[in-house]
Structure 1
Amino acid sequence: MTLLERVYQYSVDVLEGKVIACKKHKQAVERFLKDLERSIYDEDCYFYFDNNELEEFNEWASLFRHTKGVLAGQRIELTDFQLFIAANIFCFKRKDNDYRKISSVYIQLARKNAKSQLLAIISSYVAFLSDQVEEVYISGWMKEQSDIVYQEILKQLERVPSFKGKYKTSYNRIQHIKSGSIIRALSREARQFGEGTNPSLAILDEYHTHLTSEIMESLEEGMGARINPLSVIITTAGRNLNSPCKAEYDYCSKIIDPHNPVENENYFVLICELDEGDDPFDESLWVKANPIAATYPEGIEAIRKRAKKAKDADDSMTSYLTKRMNIWVSAQESGYLDTAKWNNCLSTEKIDLKGRKVYLGLDLATKHDLCSLGIVIPLENGKFYVDSHSFCPSESLEERIKTDRAPFKKWLRQGLLTQTDGAVTDFSYILDHVEMLIRQYEWEVLEVCYDPHEASYFSQEMTEKGYTMVEVKQNIATQHEPLTEFREKVLKGEIIHNGNGLLTWAIGNAVTVSNSDDRIKLSKSKSTERIDPIAAVIDAFSRAMYCEESIDYNKLFLSKGFSF
């Protein structure tokens, strides 16, 4: 069996459940198989799969020996899981120049799953086998962290007799004599984080410990002159939900989610974690977060010891969940709505919108957020049609594209987003859009529901034009019922939409916070990106849910205990 056949069979086994894997691991596999199929059967595909590169990487890895653990001293034989990673990173290449398709990598694994070993192999592979002068930088927040991978590289090289005299070391720097390529450990602690560097490969190990993104940004800035650079993040989950690593995790989760409109096919993402609802003490599920450590007795026993400690001592539970089960603490508890469930509500038939009674919602901002118009139309039998449209100042659009890493230009082309003149949103564009919709569809706007923040003047203007304006405060007392009712209707298929990608993106970003009574509201401060479109929809739904046309009286009578 060739190495590609091994990787292909591994991928099939993951999807068929023969290899136990989490949802995001399966999504990465689906992505790989889709790209592999494109590279083979699509003549117009711009990339191909290089089988020889996979063989070469595997041969390079086999030169080295395990430096620690139960296999210490034995030659490294890459697992199918590790070959899958290598195949994705190195083997998809552009047809026009043979450069790698992948330029960024995010891998999240639990501890003790050979992360440092794999990073060491990747580092020496890039530095020692290139015909160019490569600069490889291993970056940790603290010097101790960057030294872990660096020392692993040294130990691997020292145990290969044929490498003697082919490299030299000094001051946390390895230089390959023939090519002049270097491998160097950097850290913010030592005030070494990339100034003046020109990385061809930048590695950020345990990115969850980084308090800011300054190291990554500095290294990426230095990559500008490289023709085929590669940045690699390998980390476990962490506890700081406001860290740059958590933001990267959220972004990467969207990339691999087939239901999310965010795309980046130059970014390889592999996340191995427990799924929502999994029992962290169920040993049969540990392999989801531990694709190597949970496949041999000693590894399982090490996890078992940590699990027992977590059960016996409350202060060990967080460490166990983040480091061993690879779960961002509390991250799974606050997501508002699964985008897969939302996409199940996509209408398969054209909805006649002419002559409808409509509720509108407004979520306004001047600079930082999007301005959004929510549209909720009560239909028959308790169902609702939902849509949105957003507005962004032209002078901040490029900043939005850069910081939010979302396809705003695509949404502009699709007519889901309007670019307004200047540095702040001109609310007259919103009024013009509302009146255009009314003329086009002959709507009767029953109420315009708005967040009072920054909306007082605009509310007065719309009132003067004859609209019924209803203030919807953004607190738990106001939001809990519409949020829970809207979510319930989505799960029951009683919400219908047309696949608006901007609204779908906002739903994927939305996070709720709760009080002691488990009542919830949307939180812009805790949400990963913009949520203004869904906030505007919820504003409109908070009133539309009481519309007489939308009430299913059979359901109402049964729920209220009526008798006749």
Structure 2
Amino acid sequence: MTAFPNVGIANRWAKQVVSGKIPACKWVRLACKRHLDDLIKSKNKDFPYKFEPKLAEKKIAFIELLPHTKGEWAMKRLSITLEPWQKFGIGCTFGWVRKKDGYRRFRESYWEVPRKNGKSAIAAGVALNMFANDGEFGSEVYAGATTEKQAWEVFKPARLMAVRSPDFIEAAGVLINAGSLEIPDEGSIFEPIIGDPPDGQSPHCAVVDEFHEHPTSALYDTMQTGMGARRQPMIFTITTAGFNIEGPCYDLRARVQEMLLDTVPDDELFGWIWTIDEGDDWTDPAVLAKANPNYGVSVYSDYLESQQRRAIQNASKQGAFKTKHLNVWVSAKSAFFNMEKWKACGNPDLNIDDFEATPCMMCVDLSSKIDIAARINLFYRIEDDGRLHYYCIDPQFYLPEDTVYSGDEKQVVERYQKWFNKGLLNVCDGYENDLNQIAKELIEDAQRVSLTEVPYDEWGGFQIAKTVDDAGYTSIKMPKTTKTFSPAMKELEAAIAAGRFHHDGNPILSWMIGNVISKTGKNETEFPDKEKKFKKIDGAVALLMGISRAMVLAGEPTGDEFYDDPIMVGV
């Protein structure tokens, strides 16, 4: 028998998910694939992380020593038995470490799991683990929520687990109080915390329960900023879906999705989302197991099917059923472009110098002086397969220095700074983008390519159009209408799916493409939009303007893989 049986169970489960033998949505598959891929990468000396099965096994084994506190298992005085999916989540969260010092890799762990799937027991076990079994002297652990009742949903079962585990109490020296657990000899404490806590805590672990109910990120931010003195802190978030897509939980969910899609890598974030896939029929009983990992264990099939039938028969119950039992954010819209296929179109070896004889457009979206501005270099040509191919190489993005370092949108300021430090952002001095700088650099780069046009948005690009025209190039004003964008969105979608679109993997453009949703109009027209203000799409808009013009300049195709009439489709 292997020395680490639970880790073996977790890894086998992950492989079965990736292979399709176990039903799971794409976010769970991607989480499993990331772990398995990283196990291979960790053999490379340049990869900064490694997986320590001993640490993962220790955390899993600790939780399985704790007693159940609810239901028939508690009545029978049984200890917790983690399911393979739970062993995987715990193992990943705590088993990955940094090679350079052995400290834990992940500082945030996000679990979005429907109701009745054992969330509270997992959260309580993690909290006790971090309180008394993580080697942290003077550990501070907090169960945070918006209300006292919700905070106790994690703390109460954890306290009861401790009360029913006398060996644990004695070994760790735990003092059980009415509203807290302490280890007096170390100064360690575990207690619930509510709402917007004052500064002063130094958390080793914060368990954030039902984050979807939090109207602001105040508690999360206070916990995170207080962790600076800890070597390997953890924010463990466990929640169902919700209705408020303007809230902090949905923002964190978006970060997890970007990380899993690898559009915005985040090496210190673990996360997964148990839900159904886009296109799944929510009324089909077959999808229940996909979204509910403890299907048939802690959440029974007859209960879920009865709830599903009630929702089908009563429209007023559909939103609650989808949200709480399928983890569907009912107010959310899906991304328009398939990001897995977009990623497959990436080729970092693409070089502008190899395309000097290929027609090129430099498309600019400059609609805001104080926000991100984009210039897309789009090459296009008919390849040997008789189809129109596109090549997007070395896109340029601009931001004012003030926005990078003092911007109001905290969700992206840190991201901007990382991109700037990597040389991916051009930062203009002061409070506004320097349009003269953008125009000057465009004209300089134009000398390297066969520039046909400079499409620009009618709401801002006119400010550099004269400079472009005076330099002997052709600027084209692009009206922001469905006539411009609907055919282009459908063509780009088809080109990505067919492998006719090629890009160099620029992470800013990839992020923006992933942020595009569609305003669908009559006659199935599409128009690019974003779900939230901080989800920028400027580069995607510039790219679509270029696609729109390329469709016109290339003429009508002979195949049926893109437009029939570049002017009339989508009108």
Superposition TM-score, scaled by structure 1 size:
0.89
* 1:58 corresponding residue in structure 2: 60
Structure 1 CA distance, aligned partners of 2:126 and 2:186?
17
Is 1:137 aligned to residue 142 of structure 2? yes
SS of the residue corresponding to residue 514 of structure 1 reads coil
Is 1:225 aligned to residue 229 of structure 2? yes
The one-letter code sitting in structure 1 at the alignment partner of 2:438 is I
Structure 1 CA distance, aligned partners of 2:211 and 2:169?
33
* 1:182 corresponding residue in structure 2: 189
Tell me by how many angstroms 1:409 deviates: 6.3
* 1:385 corresponding residue in structure 2: 391
The one-letter code sitting in structure 1 at the alignment partner of 2:165 is V
Is 1:420 aligned to residue 428 of structure 2? yes
Is 1:457 aligned to residue 463 of structure 2? yes
List alignment gaps of at least 5 residues for structure 1: none
Structure 2 CA distance, aligned partners of 1:290 and 1:65?
23
Tell me by how many angstroms 1:458 deviates: 2.9
8 Å CA contact 2:162–2:168 kept in 1: the answer is yes
Structural mapping, 1:342-357, within 5 Å:
342-346=342-346, 352-357=354-359
Structure 1 CA distance, aligned partners of 2:38 and 2:562?
53
Structural mapping, 1:134-283, within 5 Å:
134-162=139-167, 166-170=173-177, 172-188=179-195, 192-258=196-262, 260=263, 262-283=264-285
* 1:551 corresponding residue in structure 2: 556
8 Å CA contact 1:476–1:520 kept in 2: the answer is yes
* 1:16 corresponding residue in structure 2: 19
Tell me by how many angstroms 1:183 deviates: 1.1
Structure 1 residues 382, 228: CA separation in 2 closer, same or farther (over 3 Å shift)?
closer
Q: Point out the more displaced range, 350-359 or 93-102.
A: 350-359
**Cα offsets for 1:41-62 (capped at 9, x unmatched):** 3455544433333333233223
Identity, % of aligned pairs? 26
* 1:371 corresponding residue in structure 2: 373
Which of 523, 528, 538 is equivalent to 2:529? 523
* 2:106 corresponding residue in structure 1: 102
Structure 1 residues 45, 488: CA separation in 2 closer, same or farther (over 3 Å shift)?
closer
SS of the residue corresponding to residue 424 of structure 1 reads coil
* 2:287 corresponding residue in structure 1: 285
Tell me by how many angstroms 1:145 deviates: 1.4
* 2:568 corresponding residue in structure 1: none
Which of 79, 89, 92 is equivalent to 1:88? 92
Structure 2 CA distance, aligned partners of 1:220 and 1:485?
43
Is 1:27 aligned to residue 30 of structure 2? yes
The one-letter code sitting in structure 2 at the alignment partner of 1:444 is L
Structure 2 CA distance, aligned partners of 1:404 and 1:175?
38
Tell me by how many angstroms 1:415 deviates: 6.2
Structure 2 CA distance, aligned partners of 1:107 and 1:139?
15
Is 1:329 aligned to residue 310 of structure 2? no
Tell me by how many angstroms 1:250 deviates: 1.0
Is 1:123 aligned to residue 127 of structure 2? yes
* 2:401 corresponding residue in structure 1: 394
The one-letter code sitting in structure 1 at the alignment partner of 2:17 is V
Structure 1 residues 289, 459: CA separation in 2 closer, same or farther (over 3 Å shift)?
same
Structure 1 CA distance, aligned partners of 2:253 and 2:267?
16
Q: Point out the more displaced range, 269-278 or 168-177.
A: 168-177
Structure 2 CA distance, aligned partners of 1:180 and 1:343?
49
* 1:74 corresponding residue in structure 2: 78
Structure 1 CA distance, aligned partners of 2:494 and 2:95?
44
* 1:469 corresponding residue in structure 2: 475
**Cα offsets for 1:29-78 (capped at 9, x unmatched):** 12222333444x34555444333333332332233221223322321112
Which of 431, 435, 438 is equivalent to 2:439? 431
Tell me by how many angstroms 1:131 deviates: 5.0
Structure 1 residues 528, 286: CA separation in 2 closer, same or farther (over 3 Å shift)?
farther
Tell me by how many angstroms 1:159 deviates: 1.8
Structure 2 CA distance, aligned partners of 1:251 and 1:464?
43
**Cα offsets for 1:393-448 (capped at 9, x unmatched):** 2333345796327765675577653222222110112212211222122x2333x2
Superposition TM-score, scaled by structure 2 size:
0.88
* 2:340 corresponding residue in structure 1: 340
Tell me by how many angstroms 1:527 deviates: 6.3
**Cα offsets for 1:155-209 (capped at 9, x unmatched):** 2122223356743455632223343311111111xxx524221111011111111
Structure 1 CA distance, aligned partners of 2:240 and 2:561?
48
Structure 2 CA distance, aligned partners of 1:42 and 1:485?
40
8 Å CA contact 1:361–1:540 kept in 2: the answer is yes
Q: What's the Cα RMSD here?
A: 2.9
SS of the residue corresponding to residue 151 of structure 2 reads helix
8 Å CA contact 2:364–2:457 kept in 1: the answer is yes
8 Å CA contact 2:24–2:274 kept in 1: the answer is yes
SS of the residue corresponding to residue 253 of structure 1 reads helix
The one-letter code sitting in structure 1 at the alignment partner of 2:516 is A
Structure 2 CA distance, aligned partners of 1:226 and 1:55?
23
8 Å CA contact 1:509–1:528 kept in 2: the answer is no
Structure 1 residues 526, 102: CA separation in 2 closer, same or farther (over 3 Å shift)?
closer
Q: Point out the more displaced range, 142-151 or 154-163.
A: 154-163
SS of the residue corresponding to residue 72 of structure 2 reads coil
* 2:512 corresponding residue in structure 1: 506
Tell me by how many angstroms 1:265 deviates: 1.3
**Cα offsets for 1:206-231 (capped at 9, x unmatched):** 11111111111111111112222111
Structure 1 residues 33, 496: CA separation in 2 closer, same or farther (over 3 Å shift)?
closer
SS of the residue corresponding to residue 358 of structure 1 reads strand
Structure 1 CA distance, aligned partners of 2:155 and 2:396?
50
SS of the residue corresponding to residue 182 of structure 2 reads strand
The one-letter code sitting in structure 2 at the alignment partner of 1:316 is K
Structure 1 CA distance, aligned partners of 2:446 and 2:65?
70
Tell me by how many angstroms 1:367 deviates: 4.8
8 Å CA contact 2:365–2:460 kept in 1: the answer is no
Tell me by how many angstroms 1:466 deviates: 4.1
Structure 2 CA distance, aligned partners of 1:298 and 1:393?
52
